[in-house]
Structure 1
Amino acid sequence: MTVVSADARRARTSNHTSFVVEQLGRAVVAGEYPAETMIPLDPDLCEMFDVSRTVVREAKKTLAAKGLIQSKAKVGTHVRHPDDWNMFDEDVLRWHSAVKSPGRFYDELFEIRLIFEPAAAARAARQANQLECDQLFALCDEMEAAKSRADFAVADYEFHKQVLRISGNRFLRSLGDMVQTALYSLFLMEKEENFPTTRADVAGNHRAIARAIASGLPELAEEAMRKVIRDGRERTSATPAE
């Protein structure tokens, strides 16, 4: 007889729960279960994903915590209106970025970035030290020298994350996942053949942010960050949908 430890059972349950959360979450965000409609009953979900009721219950709790669904006794579980979803949740952001025609999501994502990232750049310009500025310039160099779009995207994200970190505001720093999702979405939508031509321009615009921060010029840093975000939005809008 094979004895399975309690820790192993918990790990297996956790993996199954994550799978169900991922599948149901993606389906809800993609509109397969529209707002106010009911998701399948627990026995149906168990059969659909070949998991236990415990797994289904835990998955539903997770999705409820993200604001996607709500359960009512003797009624069932319905999908909540998108306005009630937790848009700061990393998974909810990621599921939105995977939708083929995100529309409103992109508009709102770039809008919120225009609110907090320029402010973070201005704060960074008021307090950045030499080492922090050197790291910003090094990331600009990495963007310009990137051999692939993936390498470029990583350097781009790390640059924005560094600006949020330098700002010294813990709330701003915690918004890094949102920026990562925005940049990842842009990465997915831009065409591969545009990479060599846009790389130098984008790196140069980021370098303007770094220079303003290093020079202690909050207004210039704020405006340079605003330009980078707007240019990114224009590149996304100019990319035809597949």
Structure 2
Amino acid sequence: MTLVQPAGLAGGLVERASNHTIFVVEQIGRAIVAGEYPAETMIPLDPDLCEMFNVSRTVVREAKKTLIAKGMIQSKAKVGTHVRPSDEWNMFDEDVLRWHASMRSPGAFYDELFEIRLIFEPAAAAQAATRANTADCAALFALCDMLATSESRADFAVADYDFHKQVLKLSGNRFLNSLGDIVQTALHSLFMLEAHERFPEGKEEVAQNHHAIARAIASGAAEEARAAMATVIRNGYRRVGDSPVLRPGL
């Protein structure tokens, strides 16, 4: 007689295995980013990982496959699994970004994040100025108003995130849109970690600077939009760049 496993039971087992895999990926990934396993060092063997996390070998193998896909580790038969140099990691992977953003002192990561924003966001704003319509611009101005009237840091951060995401979308470039979504997610995490000492005093200035971007886009002034976006990014970097959260000891 053939025993048929109930569908609900099978689904539950798969879901538990998936959750366990996510947990192991999370723990090893965070440890690698934190430097607990430096580049070229070996991570524990599969049996040790199974015991460490109380999971099966199947879960460990799947977790390692995920980390390999992120460019963080490399596995070789009869040798083991070693950590790859950080410049070989997929820095546009959402988990890798999130792990960096959650570090206790993510200063160097924040610097790199600032650099890449300064490369593509002003260009996106210039593109948006050639493509945005009246309704699109109205949405940008509404977000500027939300920045100015926000009553909490959380509301302020969400409005800021939505504004930049909207500009990237209005660029009409799918690559910029996708890239910006990932990087802005990481920046949002950093922004929420920072004790923004100037809030609420500084929000009016920030809102006005964002309004300058929206105004340039609405006017079809591409170079003005480019310059206004660069100003906003640089000002944001100066506000939090020397934060003790990002750079302990300063």
Name the TM-score class by shorter chain. over 0.9
- 1:52 equivalent in alignment to 2:56: yes
Give the Cα separation in 2 of the matches to 1:194 and 1:154: 17
Shift of 1:10: 1.1
- 2:186 aligns with 181
Give the Cα separation in 2 of the matches to 1:163 and 1:28: 34
Aligned residues: 240
**Identity of matched residues, %:** 66
Give the Cα separation in 1 of the matches to 2:40 and 2:122: 37
**TM-score, normalized by length of structure 2?**
0.92
Shift of 1:106: 1.4
Task: Give the aligned residue type for 2:97.
Answer: L
Shift of 1:194: 2.4
- 1:43 equivalent in alignment to 2:56: no
**TM-score, normalized by length of structure 1?**
0.95
- Alignment equivalent of 2:137, drawn from 129, 133, 139: 133
Q: Which moved more, 1:104-113 or 1:175-184?
A: 175-184
- Alignment equivalent of 1:93, drawn from 76, 94, 97: 97
- 1:209 aligns with 213
Shift of 1:128: 0.2
Shift of 1:9: 1.2
Task: Give the aligned residue type for 1:95.
Answer: W
- Alignment equivalent of 2:168, drawn from 155, 164, 174: 164
Residue segments in structure 1 that go unaligned for 5+ positions in a row:
none
Give the Cα separation in 2 of the matches to 1:202 and 1:190: 16
Residue segments in structure 2 that go unaligned for 5+ positions in a row:
none
Shift of 1:103: 3.0
Task: Give the aligned residue type for 2:46.
Answer: D
**Cα displacement string for residues 78-101 of structure 1 (whole angstroms, at most 9, x for unaligned residues):** 000001000111110110011122
Shift of 1:186: 2.5
- 2:120 aligns with 116
Name the SS for the 2:36 alignment partner.
Answer: coil
- Alignment equivalent of 1:27, drawn from 15, 25, 31: 31
- 2:240 aligns with 236
- 1:5 equivalent in alignment to 2:5: no
Give the Cα separation in 1 of the matches to 2:218 and 2:176: 19
Name the SS for the 2:71 alignment partner.
Answer: coil
Contact 1:186–1:232, Cα closer than 8 Å, also in 2: no
Show structure 1 runs of 4+ deviating over 4 A: none
Contact 1:69–1:78, Cα closer than 8 Å, also in 2: yes
Give the Cα separation in 2 of the matches to 1:26 and 1:80: 14
Give the Cα separation in 2 of the matches to 1:30 and 1:68: 12
Give the Cα separation in 2 of the matches to 1:42 and 1:65: 18
Contact 1:28–1:34, Cα closer than 8 Å, also in 2: yes
- Alignment equivalent of 2:86, drawn from 79, 82, 87: 82
Give the Cα separation in 2 of the matches to 1:12 and 1:216: 53
Name the SS for the 1:190 alignment partner.
Answer: coil
**Cα displacement string for residues 158-194 of structure 1 (whole angstroms, at most 9, x for unaligned residues):** 1111001100000000011112212321231233x42
**Cα displacement string for residues 204-242 of structure 1 (whole angstroms, at most 9, x for unaligned residues):** 111110000011000000001001111111111232245
Give the Cα separation in 2 of the matches to 1:190 and 1:167: 32
Task: Give the aligned residue type for 2:55.
Answer: V
Contact 1:42–1:53, Cα closer than 8 Å, also in 2: yes
Contact 1:39–1:79, Cα closer than 8 Å, also in 2: yes
Name the SS for the 1:229 alignment partner.
Answer: helix
Shift of 1:6: 1.7
